[in-house]
Structure 1
Amino acid sequence: MESTTSKPRDASGSDLSEQIKAATKDSHVRAENTQLMLSYQRGQITRTQYKLLLCSLYEIYQALEEELDRNADHPAVQPIYFPQELARLEALELDLEHFFGPHWRKRVTVPAATHRYTQRLREIGKNSPDLLVAHAYTRYLGDLSGGQVLGKITQKSLGLSGDKGVLFFLFPGVTSPNRFKQLYRSRMNSIELTEQQRREVLDEATRAFEFNIEVFDDLQKMLSITGEASSDKGNDAATKMESKTFSSSPVLQFALGVGITLATVGMGVYAF
């Protein structure tokens, strides 16, 4: 856990975790105040949108976790490498199989914005592994915070029984999310970084949020073009019609899929 030795602090704190929170504060506020975020919190999510969410999350976490695995011995990655406690890929695969069956990869389209994010993760995993710290922190601690609320909202909105379809939100290897988050912050704060590296990590954390905000802007443009406002609650007939609409309209598929994905991911991040 954290050292009891006192350390000098500036206004935003000298710990890396506190500095990330301070550096991304404005981005938090901007992203939280989107209409789409508020809609998700009200339970306005369809089954098709949630399927697209899962597929997007799978691609993001596949890139993140493969790069973390590949760089597990890197001095900046090793302290925050918790595959047993945090890895999301297996849970996402099971959720996707629940909704799509064994051939889910062939049935769902991943938005271009997700590809841009995964490309960034691959790039820094190869060239600047220390920057993975910013992405791992924002994603995993978000999942352990607001993501827990999202699991319940999703379960209720889609009428899902038990854990089927919402395993992504569950962390069986973490007995106490609050204590684990404290441990994670302590480990991250122990990473030795030069001042330049620290600035780059802070910039990367802000950049991760900016990716989301840019896609929110694109989503609003897409929605204004399509004029679509989905109110489906997941019944079989509407789900079939919705699936047909998404198949025949790439623009609509992209817009709604990206929007709900980022709203969900974002809400978790803002709670840590």
Structure 2
Amino acid sequence: MENQKTVTSPTPNGINSIDSMPRDLSELIKLSTQEVHERAENTEFMKGFHSVTLTQLKLLLSSLYTHYSALEEELDRLSSNPCLSPLCISRWQLHRVAALQADLRYHYGADWRNEAVLAVPAATREYAERIHEVAHSNPCLLISHSYTRYLGDLSGGQVLRRLAQRSLALPPTGEGLSFFCFPEVSHAGRFKELYRARMNSLELSDLARGQVLQEAQTAFLLNVKVFEAIQKMSVVPPPRSSENGALRNRVPPPRTHSIQSEKGPPTSSLSASPALRLVLALCFAVVTVAVGIYAL
């Protein structure tokens, strides 16, 4: 009886036998990341993208710039690595850093480098650090990050661009949203097929495949953390409870009008001031004399 080939390290979602799952690496990644992919799509930030605010868009673009700067730096450095070279052949068609620089310049102005870098949440830096870490420890794991980033953004970019453009009334010519456009890719569907075919041609051991699948899950989870951080940073917090209490307990200012006595009719302010009655009497006398003189 022929020995069955098994994965040395268990793959995600409890799939352990090579014979029980597809052989194509692209299909394996899609299958093993389905659950975490849905989790990323169902974050509050992504579900509310139809009404994205400018603050949220700027945080997203700043985070993407940080991620892609790390990814493209490492892919350029490792472009001759056998695990990555088939995917790097057409990397110039996918490169996002230049487009993101243009978007950040549009939204932040001349000092965009300082402002954009300072704006990103800690989860964004964690994602970039993970890319650099695996690039040095196990370069084959960049397959996972390339797949989740490039094919994900190529697939959903046009929809997100239209939503952001409508929500923020950005120019129809595309300024501020260059990231979501891939002008070097003439047909997204055919390009993705070619990219997957190159992935599937990679000669990886069963152990390496399992690691790539696990890293793809990690990439999605890092994305979830970034989306949650952006949502949290862009929400204006309500007044603190102590401030609410102070507002509720604030003593109202004293009324300026005279307070009616609890007993009897209202007291006239004229009768309450003899000095005022005397002044008015004198004024009346002066007016009477003046009128008499004018009549003469």
Under TM normalisation by the shorter chain, which class is it?
A: 0.7 to 0.9
C-alpha deviation, 1:47, in angstroms: 1.2
Asked whether 1:76 is paired with 2:86, we answer no
Task: Name the structure 2 match of 1:21.
Answer: 30
CA distance in 2 between partners of 1:212 and 1:138 (Å): 10
Q: 1:100: how far off?
A: 1.5
Does residue 199 in structure 1 map to residue 207 in structure 2? no
Residue 33, structure 1, aligned to residue 26, structure 2: no
Aligned pair count? 218
Bigger relative contact order, structure 1 or 2, given CA contacts below 8 A and separation 6+? 1
Q: Which amino acid aligns with 2:83?
A: A
CA distance in 1, matches of 2:92, 2:231: 38
Q: Secondary structure at the match of 2:170?
A: coil
SS of match in other structure, 1:175: coil
Aligned partner of 1:97 in structure 2 is 105
Who is 1:67 aligned against?
Answer: 74
Distance 1:192 1:204 in 2: 17
Letter in 2 for 1:104: W
Q: Deviations over 1:162-193 (max 9, x none)?
A: 11111101111110000000000000110110
AA partner of residue 66 (structure 2): E
Cα deviation for residue 226 of structure 1 reads 3.0
Letter in 1 for 2:56: Q
- For residues 171 and 223 of structure 1, the distance between their equivalents in structure 2, rounded to whole angstroms, comes to 28
Task: Pick one of 161, 186, 191 that aligns with 2:197.
Answer: 186
One-letter identity of the residue aligned with 2:25: L
In the alignment, the residues of structure 2 paired with residue 30 and residue 101 of structure 1 have an alpha-carbon distance, to the nearest angstrom, of 34
CA distance in 1, matches of 2:154, 2:104: 20
Deviation (angstroms), 1:102 = 2.2
Distance 1:135 1:10, change over 3 A: same
Contact in 1 for aligned 2:67/2:128 (Cα 8 Å): yes
Distance in 2, matches of 1:31 and 1:153, equals 18
CA offset at residue 44 of structure 1?
A: 1.3
Query: Are 2:51 and 2:164, in contact at CA under 8 Å, matched by a contact in 1?
Result: no
Cα distance between partner residues in 2 of 1:94 and 1:212: 23
Letter in 2 for 1:184: Y
Could you say which residue in structure 2 is the equivalent of 1:163? 174
Q: Which residue of 2 aligns with 1:112?
A: 122
Of all paired residues, the percent bearing the same amino acid is: 49
Which is further off, 171-180 or 150-159? Answer: 150-159
Distance 1:177 1:140 in 2: 11
Report SS of the residue matched to 2:216: helix
Listed as ranges, the gaps of 5+ residues in structure 2 are: 1-17, 240-296
Specify the structure having the higher radius of gyration (Cα). Answer: 2
Q: What is the CA–CA distance in structure 1 between the aligned matches of 2:227 and 2:95, rounded to whole Å?
A: 27
* Aligned residue in 1 for 2:13: none
- Equivalence for 1:241: none
Q: Which moved more, 1:133-142 or 1:103-112?
A: 103-112
The CA deviation at 1:32 is: 2.5
Aligned with 1:53 (options 32, 57, 60): 60
Normalization by structure 1: what TM-score?
0.75
Which segments of 5 or more consecutive residues in structure 1 lack a partner in the other structure? 1-8, 229-272
Q: Which amino acid is the alignment partner of residue 135 of structure 1? A: H
Measure, in 1, the Cα distance between the counterparts of 2:170 and 2:227: 27
Q: Residue 215 and residue 94 in structure 1: after superposition, are their counterparts in 2 closer, same or farther (change >3 A)?
A: closer
Q: What is residue 150 of structure 2 aligned with on the other side?
A: 140
Pairing 1:249-260 to 2, within 5 Å after superposition: none
- Tell whether the 8 Å contact from 2:83 to 2:202 is kept in structure 1 after alignment: yes
